[in-house]
């Protein structure tokens, strides 16, 4: 399996970001990112292609006025509107798919700005952004005095420890209500805001800084090579199927091994495998970490280890969360373990 680090949820000059495609892809290259997805508000005008060695793909952040932002991928033209049921349907009709953006923004908000939550039905969405770096920062900073603002800027990652529990429960509920896998992603929500009211204009949360926070590591059979269209397809298919894990690079910028194997094969995030008498969840990390394994959203194992092989005897969706000193490091998409009934096997 090939593994490639990418970032999702980036704003450019075509909405409220400050960078053009050159600035964004150069920053991504410097941050060690192979691919990225630019999602401007209600706009898809950004150029896409393999630019500065980075596979830059355009999507859109469908942004109704007050609530219900939705990251739409695999679409050519912008889709807009205020009714989530309608635009989710239009994205599917156009051959695309999407992720609910920052659904529980504001849950811990300490400042005066208004939060943008998901207030509509979430059951038709294809996927969910379970962690949004900038949104969580904005929830946590306190705008009452300039020193706390500066402090929260420079020590931002101290505040952004893990996805909101309420968002993880939302994701588990969506997965428990269907047989298919509802994939999750992490978004950076990078804008590289330019503030010019001071003597020297400053850029806060530059693209480069943001691209070193939350990444999505995709697992692909095929290597990312060849034409842009080919690479774009590989990346979008991986995200559509949930063949990715979320990596918090601020905690530890390494990709561990997390797989389920049986007598015949090995599978990764977003895939499925038949339960047999030799089915194991294998985890290999670079250092001892806190490992939490969930089956259909319920915690079934909690251990501190650097390596483990856990015997699986029940079918369902397995996902893994890994933390180091209580800082969320890895969140995998579920792996589906299924049972083939005796009569099916014999027919």
| Residues 239, 245: Cα–Cα separation, whole Å | 10
For residues 128 and 273, which CB has a smaller minimum distance to Zn ion in the complex? 128
Query: Taking contact as CB under 5 A, which single stretch among the options 95-103, 178-186, 217-225, 231-239 is the one that binds Zn ion?
Result: 95-103
Interaction of residue 122 with Zn ion, rule CB under 5 A: no
CB of residue 11 to Zn ion, shortest distance in Å: 6
CB of residue 70 to Zn ion, shortest distance in Å: 9
Instruction: For residue 145, give every residue at least 6 positions away whose Cβ sits within 8 Å of its Cβ, in sequence order, or none.
Output: none
Q: Which residue is nearest to Zn ion (CB)?
A: 69
Burial class (CB in 10 A: 0-12, 13-18, 19+), 298: exposed
Residue 207 CB coordination number (10 Å): 29
For residues 103 and 270, which CB has a smaller minimum distance to Zn ion in the complex? 103
CB of residue 187 to Zn ion, shortest distance in Å: 7
Best CA proximity match to 31, nearest among 11, 5, 12: 5
Query: Taking contact as CB under 5 A, which single stretch among the options 96-104, 203-211, 287-295, 309-317 is the one that binds Zn ion?
Result: 96-104
Interaction of residue 69 with Zn ion, rule CB under 5 A: yes
Query: Taking contact as CB under 5 A, which single stretch among the options 57-65, 251-259, 262-270, 277-285 is the one that binds Zn ion?
Result: 57-65
State which of positions 169-208 bind Zn ion (CB under 5 A). 189
Contact characters 150-169, Zn ion, x per CB under 5 A: --------------------
CB of residue 61 to Zn ion, shortest distance in Å: 5
CB of residue 248 to Zn ion, shortest distance in Å: 19
Interaction of residue 60 with Zn ion, rule CB under 5 A: no
User: How, if at all, do strands 127-132 and 97-100 pair?
Assistant: parallel
Output the six-digit token pair for 276.
């047999």
CB of residue 344 to Zn ion, shortest distance in Å: 45
| Chain centroid offset of residue 303 CA | 24
- Per DSSP, the residues of 277-314 read TT-EEEEEEEEEEEEEEEETTEEEEEEEEEEEEEE--S
For residues 239 and 291, which CB has a smaller minimum distance to Zn ion in the complex? 239
| Chain centroid offset of residue 4 CA | 13
State which of positions 282-321 bind Zn ion (CB under 5 A). none
| Residues 323, 290: Cα–Cα separation, whole Å | 5
For residues 189 and 321, which CB has a smaller minimum distance to Zn ion in the complex? 189
Best CA proximity match to 337, nearest among 317, 323, 309: 317
CB of residue 133 to Zn ion, shortest distance in Å: 11
CB of residue 312 to Zn ion, shortest distance in Å: 38
- Per DSSP, the residues of 161-192 read -S--HHHHHHHHHHHHT-SS---EEEE--B--
For residues 210 and 283, which CB has a smaller minimum distance to Zn ion in the complex? 210
Query: Taking contact as CB under 5 A, which single stretch among the options 100-108, 199-207, 233-241, 314-322 is the one that binds Zn ion?
Result: 100-108
Binding site for Zn ion (CB under 5 A): 61, 69, 101, 189
């Amino acid at each position: 399996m090939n593994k490639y680090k990418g970032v999702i949820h980036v704003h450019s000059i075509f909405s409220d970001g400050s960078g053009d495609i050159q600035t964004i892809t150069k920053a991504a290259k410097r941050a060690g990112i192979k691919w990225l997805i630019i999602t401007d508000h209600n706009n898809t005008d950004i150029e896409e292609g393999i630019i500065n060695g980075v596979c830059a793909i355009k999507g859109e952040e469908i942004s109704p006025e007050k609530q219900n932002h939705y990251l739409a991928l695999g679409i050519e033209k912008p889709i807009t509107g205020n009714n989530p049921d309608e635009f989710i349907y239009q994205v599917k009709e156009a051959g695309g798919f999407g992720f609910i953006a920052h659904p529980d923004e504001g849950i811990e908000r300490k400042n005066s700005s208004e939060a943008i939550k998901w207030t509509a039905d979430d059951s038709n969405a294809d996927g969910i952004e379970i962690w949004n770096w900038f949104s969580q920062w904005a929830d946590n900073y306190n705008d009452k005095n300039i020193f706390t603002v500066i402090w929260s800027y420079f020590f931002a990652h101290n505040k952004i420890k893990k996805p909101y529990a309420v968002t993880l429960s939302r994701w588990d509920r969506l997965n428990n209500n269907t047989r298919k896998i509802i994939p999750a992603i992490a978004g950076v929500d990078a804008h590289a805001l330019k503030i010019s009211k001071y003597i020297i204009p400053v850029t806060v949360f530059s693209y480069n800084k943001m691209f070193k926070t939350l990444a999505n590591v995709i697992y692909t059979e095929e290597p990312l090579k060849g034409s842009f269209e080919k690479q774009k397809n590989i990346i979008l298919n991986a995200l559509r199927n949930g063949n990715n894990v979320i990596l918090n690079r601020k905690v530890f910028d390494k990709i561990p091994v997390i797989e389920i194997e049986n007598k015949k094969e090995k599978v990764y995030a977003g895939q499925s495998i038949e339960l047999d008498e030799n089915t194991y969840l294998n985890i290999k990390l670079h250092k001892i970490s806190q490992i939490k394994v969930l089956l259909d959203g319920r915690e079934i194992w909690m251990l501190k280890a650097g390596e483990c092989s856990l015997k699986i005897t029940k079918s369902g969706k397995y996902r893994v969360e890994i933390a180091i000193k209580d800082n969320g490091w890895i969140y995998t998409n579920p792996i589906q373990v299924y049972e083939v009934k005796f009569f099916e096997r014999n027919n």
